[in-house]
Each structure stands twice: as C-alpha cells, then as structure tokens.
Amino acid sequence: MDMWGTKMLTALHTLAGMAAEGLDLPSNTFQDMMQDAPHLLAPTGSDFNKYGANGTVLAGYHYDLNFLTIHGKSRFPGLYVWLRDGRRMPVKVPPGHLIVQAGKQIEYLTGGYIMCGFHEVVVNEATMAVIDKKKAAAAAEGRDTSNLQELWRVSSTLFGHIASDQVLKPMGRFATPEALAEFPPVETGQQVQNELNAINLGADSEKNEL
C-alpha cells in the first residue's frame, strides 16, 4: 500500500508541475508548496454483500478540501461528478489510468478559475450488473454467494495537500482584486481546520457542542 501511495503521490507531483505551467506559473510553484504537506492515503471499503441495493449512497455529495485527489479505476462503477453547468455525469476510468479531481486548495490558489469538483458514489444499475455477474460466477463454481470477498468495493485514494504553513491566496494572473476579496490569504492549516469545523469534524467542533 505504501508503494501504491508513493506512486500516486509521484503522479500528483508531476501533474502539479504541468498544471503550474499551464496556468502561467513557474513549474515548481505547486510542487514546492506540496513539500512536507500532510498527504493522506485513505483506502475505503464498501461491502456489497450488505450494502449492494440500487440507490445506496456510499459517499454523499461533497467536494475535497485538499489540493488534488487521485485514485485508480474501481472494480465497481458508481462515481458521479458535477460539471460547471450543473450536469451530473457518471465517471468511466479507462483501464491503466488514474483519475485526478480538483480540491478546494487549488480553487483558492487560482481564485476560482479551477473549481473544486463536487462528486458522490452511489450504487446504480451498472454497479448492480457487476455485482450480479460476480455472484453468478461464484454460483457457477459452487460457492456460497451470501458473503463474497469479491463484492467489496475498495478505493485506494490519495489526498494531496499543500503544506500546512503555506499561505493560500490567488497567485499570478489570478490575483485580481475581485479574487483576493473572495479568497483572502489564509494559512493552509487554518483552511483545513475551517473546512473540518464546517462539517463538525474539526477540533473546535466538539468545544462548540459543550
């Protein structure tokens, strides 16, 4: 798992350099800001033996608070993203490819030019088709289909961050008066804390409830 996490972080590091160049910034801008950041490899598992009903929400509608998020192709479909025009689209990742999603920190650094991506994971008809196919294969082998290991959906996701002591603010050509008003400078560690507090997961959330 550490090896896979390192490979994904390396891919993010390369992509960060490409993104900076495409945004008319020095290629090392984001890479330097990612140095010594609290990157998080966070595998999650969903047991379709128990939670495989059509319409089951595995991850509700949300955006990621970090810089960039990367993961590979899941063995089960069900990931949806929202486009800028409000359309909800199913995601299809080709074999051998990775998917990268923009988080809140890159939205901050580009003054909203790149927006954090809203997404969710839901059991749909395509998910059900894969579940049924795996159950049928197991039944043909004479195995008990009530608790199959292959009906676990595992997502090995890496959340790439900007270092906690770096200051988030619109950079380069994105540092317009309007953008600076909407995205005032804030230390990344505080931005993360603010996001966690907003969903009652931060250190200050428990104090507020007392």
Q: Which residues of the chain have pLDDT under 70?
A: 1, 204-210
Residue 86 CB contacts under 8 Å (≥ 6 apart), including other chains: none
Cβ atoms of 161 and 171 closer than 8 Å: no
**Per-residue confidence (pLDDT) for residue 192, from 0 to 100:** 97
What's the whole-model pTM score?
0.90
Query: Which one, of 194, 23, 189, lies nearest residue 114 by Cα?
Result: 23
**Per-residue confidence (pLDDT) for residue 55, from 0 to 100:** 95
**Per-residue confidence (pLDDT) for residue 126, from 0 to 100:** 95
Cβ atoms of 133 and 204 closer than 8 Å: no
